Amino acid sequence: MRTFTLPTVNMNGSSAHELLDQQLQVLRAIDALWEVMRVSAPHGRDYQLAPERYDSARSDFNDTADALELIKSRANALALHLSDIPDWRTA
């Protein structure tokens, strides 16, 4: 499992709440993108005249999916970290 560099919340930076909200926005955007990508995945019927290109298109799509999973993993890790930090600015 990959580890990510986590932010240090302090009084001179963004609040934990602000940083958490940013990561939650990232997660919502990725979920929305996944919905679009799911229906746009390469299908063999679209490569009938050049079937040798289907494997390459599928590989490209899988690379993109892997990149999204990495972004989602990072956002999840940051959100989990930030959700455990009390936000003393709002107390």
> What values do phi and psi take at 51, rounded to 5?
-60, -25
**CA separation for the pair 91, 37 (Å, rounded):** 41
> What values do phi and psi take at 4, rounded to 5?
-125, 150
24, two tokens: 């939650």
The yes-or-no verdict on residue 70 having pLDDT over 80 is yes
71 pLDDT band (50/70/90 cuts)? very high
**CA separation for the pair 63, 47 (Å, rounded):** 19
**Residue range 29-42, pLDDT digits in tens:** 999 999 999 999 99
> What values do phi and psi take at 16, rounded to 5?
-60, -40
**CA separation for the pair 62, 64 (Å, rounded):** 5
The yes-or-no verdict on residue 86 having pLDDT over 80 is no
Summary mean pLDDT of the chain: 92
**Residue range 40-68, pLDDT digits in tens:** 999 999 999 998 999 999 999 999 999 99
The yes-or-no verdict on residue 91 having pLDDT over 60 is no
The yes-or-no verdict on residue 88 having pLDDT over 70 is no
